Amino acid sequence: MASSAKSSIAPSDLESFTSHLHSSKHILALLGAGLSASSGLPTFRGAGGLWRSHNAISLATPEAFTTDPALVWQFYSYRRHMALRARPNRAHYALAELARRKEGFLTLSQNVDGLSQRANHPRDKLHLLHGSLFDVRCTSFYCNYAEQDVFTDPIVPALAIPKEGAQPAPSATDKTGAEATKSLYSAMKQSNTTDSAAPSSPSEELDISDESIPIPDITLQDLPHCPKCTSGLLRPGVVWFGEMLPSDTVNAIDDFITNAPKIDLILVIGTSAKVYPAAGYVDHARKKGARVAVINMDRGDAKGLMKGDWFFEGDAGVFVPEILRSVIGEIGEAER
């Protein structure tokens, strides 16, 4: 992969970028959905923006959670499950290693999928603009409980993804119920034997994003509850539409940019950075002297770059480890 990426990069671009990277003391990285796509994860809005018959955006609001917390938790439990089936790619590991090698390096991620955390990116150098699917906090007004990186799947048993299994066969002739009972017990025995023999494979899981697949009704009592106050309902630790970005995250980023005598470089990876606040961070970095390096599949994202900037067109999972290799070394399969 590295040789393929290298052959696609103009030698003069790689040489000038590498030279600037080595001399850079303060570096920002802005991550977007294109980085997650390299791990096989779809972007948030997906095909048509629907989850079952629901607009995905309509489920990502405080109002939706108040109205139907069970449905919202089923949506987010599904997203958690899919994210855990994906693996951090080489770019995640490369950025984590750069954070360990460069003291003045800070990563701002718009992704909520937990892949950077699972690549062991140092948490003090990773700021999540939109929160994380794997963070939770209590919704009770009087409780301040919050927890990061809860990778348990499912987070509670009621939110387990339904699986295919043996089904009882109704009898066409017996009207006493004896045959149906026998069939039911046979199906249960077969299911238990299958479960005990080996873990269920993803192919046995039902795709609950398809509205034709029934999902169980879940009571409020079966949803995740706060272990501290015991009565409050937990919610996913993502920033929903209509909510403010986390103030501690925003303040930490602002302090980093303000207090640095100069920002030498900003890496824009897997995002167009045309929507605020992401676009604002690129502007702020520029005002502090930063040169911009964009790594993305879309050539249209090269618009707005200035003389002295770089655009590396291609898969972030392949290109990022290559352009950082002179500082971090080789990121191989063993990292994964």
Give 127-169 pLDDT, tens digit per residue: 999 999 999 999 999 999 999 999 999 999 999 998 875 444 4
What's the mean pLDDT in 3-24?
A: 85
More confident residue, 185 or 212: 212
Place of tokens 């040489």: 15
- Per residue in 216-271, pLDDT (tens digit) is 899 999 999 999 999 999 999 999 999 999 999 999 999 999 999 999 999 999 98
92 included as an active-site residue: no
**According to the model, what pLDDT value does residue 166 have?**
45
pLDDT band at 205 (very low <50, low <70, confident <90, very high): confident
Whether the per-residue pLDDT at 49 is higher than 60: the answer is yes
| Percent residues over pLDDT 90 in the chain | 66
- Is the pLDDT at 196 greater than 50, yes or no? no
Between 31-35, 73-77, 175-179, the lowest mean confidence (pLDDT) is in 175-179
DSSP string, 100-168: HH-TTEEEEE---SSHHHHTT--GGGEEETTEEEEEEEE--TT---EES----SSSSGGGPPPB----P
Q: Is the pLDDT of residue 187 over 50?
A: no
What is the per-residue pLDDT across 150-160, written as a single tens digit (0 to 9) for each?
Answer: 999 999 999 99
Cβ 81 vs Cβ 154: under 8 Å: yes
pLDDT at 209: 86
Tokens of 164: 């295919």
At 165 the pLDDT is 59
Q: Which of 26, 81, 127, 130 is catalytic?
A: 130
